[in-house]
Structure 1
Amino acid sequence: MKIQLWSIGKENDHYINDGINIFQKRLKHYTDFELKLIPTVKQAANLAVPELKKQEGKMILDMLQPNDYLVALDERGKSLTTLQMAEFIQQRSNAGTRQIIILIGGAFGIDESVLQRAQLKLSLSALTFPHQLVRLIFVEQLYRAYTVLNNEKYHHQ
């Protein structure tokens, strides 16, 4: 199963990249993982927020393949524990899911059209984090979930 983390926005700061690289290397032992940064819409600063979200949404929907399992990170989404996240990954693998796309939206969130396409809306926290930090947090949590599935010591229960 391939897992891609898509994020709309700018390149990561070096300290974020360093952290992501650590967990990407570790994830290679378990799954095919890729981080895909999606540039913001051209002339974004000149667009009203609803129009910006609409254009970002269209761009995302055009990139998705019909069989992609889309997980949208959204503040109103479902919260999972680490063990539930591991269980989710195992369930998707058992179901024969070929590719999971985890989406971090733009600065103003994810357009409703994309949220409707998502099979799962997931919240990492009730707190607000910078998008770059969310990338690092999610990659670490993905690694943690795989260590749980493999009964490794990284996650203490």
Structure 2
Amino acid sequence: MKITLLVVGKTNDPHFIAGIEEYAKRIRHYLPFDIEVIPELRNTKSLSEEQQKEKEADLLLKAFQPGDHIVLLDEHGREHRSVELAAWMEKRMAAGLKRMVFVVGGPYGFSPRIYEKANEKVSLSRMTFSHQMIRLIFTEQIYRAMTIINGEPYHHE
């Protein structure tokens, strides 16, 4: 199975970039992993939040491939402890999914069209984090899940 992290807008903070790149490299030890960036919308002052979400939806929908298992990182999704996330991922890996796509939306979340297309929603916390920070936190959690699945000593419980 391949995992893709699909994000709206690029990461700007060099500290986050370094961390994300480090965890992405570690994840690739276990399975194919990439990060796809959808360009941030420009000239959005004249657009409502809903219009922005719809324009982002157009771009996200183009990035999806037939057969993708789409998981939205969404505040209303199911929360997992790290061990539970690992079990959840292992179950999907065993199901023979070709590509699992985790999606981080723009500043206003997702349009209804993206919610309809999604297979699942996962929440990393009930707290709100910046979209930049979520990328680092989530790549670390994917790496942590891979070490748990493989019985390696990274995670302590």
The TM-score normalised by the length of structure 1 is 0.95
RMSD (Å) for aligned C-alpha atoms: 1.1
1:46 shift after superposition = 2.1
1:149 shift after superposition = 0.3
Q: Which residue of 2 aligns with 1:28?
A: 28
| SS at 2:6 equivalent | strand
Q: Which residue of 1 aligns with 2:44?
A: 44
Give the Cα–Cα distance (whole angstroms) in 1 for the partners of residues 118 and 64 of structure 2: 11
Kept in 1, the 8 Å contact 2:10–2:39? The answer is yes
Task: Summarize deviations over 1:31-80 as a string: whole Å, max 9, x none.
Answer: 11111121112322321111110111122112211200000011111111
Summarize the alignment of residues 41-80 of structure 1 with structure 2, pairs less than 5 Å apart: 41-80=41-80
Letter in 2 for 1:140: E
Bigger mean CA offset, 83-92 vs 67-76: 83-92
Q: Which residue of 2 aligns with 1:104?
A: 104
| SS at 2:121 equivalent | strand
| SS at 2:35 equivalent | strand
1:8 shift after superposition = 0.4
Query: What are the ranges of 5 or more consecutive residues in structure 2 without an aligned counterpart?
Result: none
Letter in 2 for 1:87: A
Q: Which residue of 1 aligns with 2:8?
A: 8
Bigger mean CA offset, 39-48 vs 116-125: 39-48
| SS at 1:46 equivalent | coil
Give the Cα–Cα distance (whole angstroms) in 1 for the partners of residues 65 and 25 of structure 2: 26
Kept in 1, the 8 Å contact 2:82–2:141? The answer is yes
Give the Cα–Cα distance (whole angstroms) in 1 for the partners of residues 130 and 13 of structure 2: 11
Q: Does 1:127 align with 2:139?
A: no
Q: Which residue of 1 aligns with 2:86?
A: 86
Task: Summarize deviations over 1:72-131 as a string: whole Å, max 9, x none.
Answer: 011111111111111121111111101011000001111111011111111111111010
Letter in 1 for 2:37: L
Kept in 1, the 8 Å contact 2:78–2:123? The answer is yes
Aligned residues, how many? 157
Q: Which runs of 4+ in 1 moved over 3 A?
A: none
Letter in 2 for 1:63: A
Give the Cα–Cα distance (whole angstroms) in 1 for the partners of residues 144 and 152 of structure 2: 9
Give the Cα–Cα distance (whole angstroms) in 2 for the partners of residues 102 and 82 of structure 1: 16
Give the Cα–Cα distance (whole angstroms) in 1 for the partners of residues 113 and 7 of structure 2: 17
| SS at 1:127 equivalent | coil
